[in-house]
A = this chain, B = another copy of it.
Amino acid sequence: MKKRILIVDDEPDICDILKLNFEMEGYVVQTSEAPIELGDNLPDIILLDVMMSPKSGFEWAKELKASPRTAQIPIIFCTAKSMEDDILQGFALGSDDYVCKPFRIKEVKARVKAVISRSEREINSEKIIKHKGLVLNLESKECWVDGNLVPFTKIEFEMLALLMANPGQVFSREKILQTIWPNYYVTDRTVDVNIARIRKKICSYSECLQSKFGYGYIFRG
């Protein structure tokens, strides 16, 4: 399967060179000269220039990491040699990496390849969320309750996945709204209704889906 790479750099020349090179390697490449809104089809990796105005690459990266929807997208930062320390200190570099400008194309390619394959392994081993007999398969978008396949709608599935992926953490309605409905606005009561719908479907596990009075909802494993 072709990998999607998003290249963000305010110098069009650099975008073009990288685009050319990665297309030759079989990637689907999207370039942009500034941070953009990510659509439904998220890239597999982002190659991000740090020095940009008005919004620095760092700031945008922080935003991406803040949203569960985009948090897992690996980012490779492009930075001047003099900024190297900042990167190393400022970022955990969890699934991320960086290259210093001016970079060798070969190095960039190698790092992209390495980061993608690394994150792929991590994703593969996390394609299933499970608590006792309650199993979510994120690939097939199916939910099994004690061995029975239970039909879930999209919204229901995404909400349960969000909560189960972070057990023991309270999610405010607002947080849930922003994650599941990133684009348009819906009432926060909508969350309640969908929680109720999920509870009905997960039967005995409905006790795990608790409301925290005044705070929001939480999945207790």
Q: Is the CB of B140 within 8 A of A218?
A: yes
Interface size on A, residues (CB 8 A): 44
Q: Is the CB of A121 within 8 A of B107?
A: yes
Provide the bound-state CA to CA distance between A130 and B168, in Å: 17
**Minimum CB–CB distance for A218 against chain B, Å:** 6
Contacting residue for A41 out of B2, B89, B175, CB 8 A = B175
Q: Is the CB of B182 within 8 A of A28?
A: yes
Q: Knowing A125-B110, A174-B41 touch, does A212 contact B141 (C-beta < 8 A)?
A: yes
**Minimum CB–CB distance for A160 against chain B, Å:** 14
User: What per-residue 1/0 map shows which CB atoms of A21-32 lie under 8 Å from chain B?
Assistant: 000000010000
Provide the bound-state CA to CA distance between A125 and B154, in Å: 33
Within 8 A of B (CB), among A148-203: 153-155, 168-170, 172, 174-175, 178-179, 182
Provide the bound-state CA to CA distance between A125 and B84, in Å: 22
Tell yes or no: A85 within 8 A of B by CB.
yes
Provide the bound-state CA to CA distance between A52 and B85, in Å: 28
Q: Which residues of B contact A80 (CB under 8 A)?
A: none
Contacting residue for A40 out of B2, B88, B169, B172, CB 8 A = B172
Q: Knowing A88-B110, A110-B88, A179-B2 touch, does A140 contact B125 (C-beta < 8 A)?
A: no
Provide the bound-state CA to CA distance between A89 and B141, in Å: 37
User: What per-residue 1/0 map shows which CB atoms of A87-109 lie under 8 Å from chain B?
Assistant: 01100010001000000001100
Tell yes or no: A124 within 8 A of B by CB.
yes
The 8 closest A-B pairs by CB, nearest first: A154-B214, A88-B110, A139-B169, A41-B174, A140-B168, A141-B170, A110-B125, A141-B215
Could you name 15 residue pairs across A and B whose Cβ atoms are closer than 8 Å? Answer: A1-B179, A4-B178, A28-B178, A41-B174, A84-B114, A85-B110, A88-B110, A110-B125, A114-B124, A137-B168, A139-B168, A139-B170, A140-B170, A140-B218, A154-B215
A residues contacting B by CB (< 8 A) are 1-2, 4, 28, 40-41, 84-85, 88-89, 93, 97, 106-107, 110-111, 113-114, 117, 121, 124-125, 137, 139-141, 153-155, 168-170, 172, 174-175, 178-179, 182, 212-215, 218, 220
